[in-house]
């Protein structure tokens, strides 16, 4: 229930549809978890996420 509320807040804040908000929040969480794991392993997440 908490996750669904966070998804609805994200959807409204970014003016997105439900499916798009769900996909984007999933991608952002995956990137955040990857960055945390890289830092714990002693790496630099900026080298992985070049934008």
Domain that holds residue 26: 2-48
Map 1-51 to HEC letters.
CHHHHHHHHHHHHCCCCHHHHHHHHHHHHHHHHHHHHHHHCCCCHHHHCCC
Q: What is the pLDDT of residues 4-51, one digit of tens each?
A: 999 999 999 999 999 999 999 999 999 999 999 999 999 888 888 876
Split into its structural domains, the chain has a count of 1
Residue 21 burial (CB count, 10 A): 20
User: Which pLDDT score, from 0 to 100, does residue 45 have?
Assistant: 87
């Amino acid at each position: 229930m908490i996750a669904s509320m966070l998804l609805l807040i994200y959807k409204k804040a970014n003016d997105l549809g439900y499916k798009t908000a769900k996909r984007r929040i999933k991608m952002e969480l995956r990137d955040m978890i990857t960055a945390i794991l890289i830092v714990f392993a002693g790496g630099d997440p900026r080298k992985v996420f070049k934008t």
